[in-house]
Structure 1
């Protein structure tokens, strides 16, 4: 049985406050200090569960893939280093949807929600905000914007591109027994819905469930058709695993957020 591990990147820069100026990606695309620690934790966890480097085993290191964004590549590099794998292979199919193109226009059409989000994020940056209120407001924005987007031709193109990448990684997983992909929440949600036979409307709520540095596991059908899956011969084994973040990291801190 071959497996694909979809890893969401570690915590990235706080770009939500930039939605109103159309410059989200520039401010968001970079791991925070905590995000780098999360990437190290998930890398060590995957190496352990795959048995890479264990005495008395001849397990090959998995091939590691990632999208072209800095937060994706840096997470993949940490995973590859922990697993003794080669440098990650970059494939543009694993790039996240462009928030500047998907979310910012929605914000400009929904000015009251945009104003509330800006105020909430300003308070958070000043250390006086309510994290629960900020999370709820961000969720409102994403639900609204992504709910419109999944009915557009842009989403259909995005989905086809993602599934093309999934097909290539499926081939690699069959060859090596496992493959790891460092990507983003929108991509993972799109893969999860596709291989589970869920409608496109399931993607926005799934996006909101994908934790930083979480792991989603897909099972790949072998050449004889055993474990026959859905899209691209793949089915879902687990979604949004994050137990590895409950354990103290090298500094003795928990990195689950």
Structure 2
């Protein structure tokens, strides 16, 4: 039996600065970089995987895959370094959907939501603290959830999502083969990919993907079990089952600076 650990990248958006990315339609350009917190999150999830996969004082026998985006690759580097594994293997199948073609057009058709999103993003970037910070965080979650429900709800009904899903499940097939050979595989990827894999191996309808996307924490871990023989996997390569989704208890531990990194 093998195991696949699907890891969402750490907090991203280091280049977003404020609201310009929504105005110029280049969300991906501004978003695709780990923040300082995101790098700490990558280190925390890497240490947690060492505890799960490795043995004290020995390199872990694991293959590390990642998508081609900077936020995915940098998270994978932290994991591979902690595990003592080889360099991450970049596979375009693990790339996230393109927000510039999926989310930005929806926001332009819904300017009121776009303005509210810009407002809560500005508040979050100002770094509100205490009770105000909690309110800001709740506001971000609420508006982002509305955007995901709207934009992704439309997207999953079209040809673009069908192509994306087929590509992702091709990557899952390759990771499954590697897990059968090596025992453990770690994939540093993104929420849309993780949600698509989760729905496929669980037999959920494609309409479940948007709601799953909205629940995937930064630097969380979703675990898939790979059987030696054909199993219940309904979406691609046979013999893959969901063990856990969106684990993030490791982020409740203080990092090297003494900070909690779950947010």
SS in 1 for 2:96: coil
Q: What is the aligned partner in structure 2 of residue 68 from structure 1?
A: 68
Q: What is the aligned partner in structure 2 of residue 119 from structure 1?
A: 119
Shift of 1:134: 2.4
Shift of 1:133: 1.7
Shift of 1:61: 1.9
Structure 2 matches for 1:49-68, cutoff 5 A? 49-50=52-53, 52-54=54-56, 60-68=60-68
Q: Distance in 2 between matches of 1:76 and 1:150?
A: 27
Q: Distance in 2 between matches of 1:123 and 1:112?
A: 17
Q: Distance in 2 between matches of 1:35 and 1:127?
A: 15
Structure 2 matches for 1:187-226, cutoff 5 A? 187-223=193-229, 225=230
Shift of 1:132: 1.7
Deviations, residues 27-63 of structure 1 (Å, cap 9, x unaligned):
100001111111111111101111x2425x7x75200
Shift of 1:20: 3.5
Q: What is the aligned partner in structure 1 of residue 3 from structure 2?
A: 3
CA-based RMSD of the aligned residues comes to: 1.7
1:21 pairs with one of 24, 42, 58: 24
TM-score by length of 1: 0.93
Residue 38 in 1 paired to residue 41 in 2?
A: yes
SS in 1 for 2:12: coil
Unaligned runs of 5+ in 2: none
8 A Cα contact 2:124 2:137, kept in partner: yes
Structure 1 window deviating more from structure 2 (116-125 vs 210-219): it is 116-125
Structure 1 residues 43 and 124, CA, compared in 2 at 3 Å: closer, same or farther? closer
Q: Distance in 1 between matches of 2:149 and 2:199?
A: 16
8 A Cα contact 2:50 2:60, kept in partner: no
Q: Distance in 2 between matches of 1:127 and 1:221?
A: 46
Structure 2 matches for 1:221-240, cutoff 5 A? 221-223=227-229, 225=230, 228-231=232-235, 232-233=237-238, 234-240=240-246
Q: What is the aligned partner in structure 1 of residue 249 from structure 2?
A: 243
Unaligned runs of 5+ in 1: none
Structure 1 residues 124 and 248, CA, compared in 2 at 3 Å: closer, same or farther? closer
Q: What is the aligned partner in structure 2 of residue 138 from structure 1?
A: 144
TM-score by length of 2: 0.91
8 A Cα contact 2:9 2:189, kept in partner: yes
8 A Cα contact 1:220 1:228, kept in partner: no
Count of residues in correspondence between the two structures: 252
